[in-house]
Amino acid sequence: MRSIVPVFGWFVLALVFVDELLAMAAFGVWGWQHEPRWLLVWLLPAAAMFVWWLFASPKAARGGPVIRPVMKVIVFGLASLALLDAGQPGWAIALLIFSVVVNGLAQVPAISRLPNDVPRPDSARTR
């Protein structure tokens, strides 16, 4: 039974990554609906990725125990609102529910510590 937890945990973490990609795509969809389309379709996802990298990613330079979850709520909330404004209410609700579920599961201690449990090569070892 214990071997199922890491497999499920890594699956959840993979879904978190898919969720991040879906959020960036949602910003691109919103950009496609507005002018200048050619600029917004690239600029909005890039800006969202920069904010994610700076505040919400696991190794964010400015992240923290308070800032990281707040920024995740803001990014996923805005991505859902972007889909809603782009005329995709069903996808907006689906993204919001998916985001809450997978990010909630990723906070389970057995899952959240998986990346830290991966053995690292010993840098002091010589060949």
Residue 126 has pLDDT above 70, yes or no: no
Which pTM does this prediction carry? 0.86
Over residues 1-14, the mean pLDDT reads 86
Residues 6+ apart with CB under 8 A from 22: 79, 95, 98
- For 58, other C-beta atoms within 10 Å of its C-beta total 11
Cα-based distances in Å from 60 to 34, 99, 121, 122: 30, 19, 23, 24
14-54 pLDDT, tens digit per residue, is 999 999 999 999 999 999 999 999 899 999 999 999 999 99
54-110 pLDDT, tens digit per residue, is 999 888 889 888 999 999 999 999 999 999 999 999 999 999 999 999 999 999 999
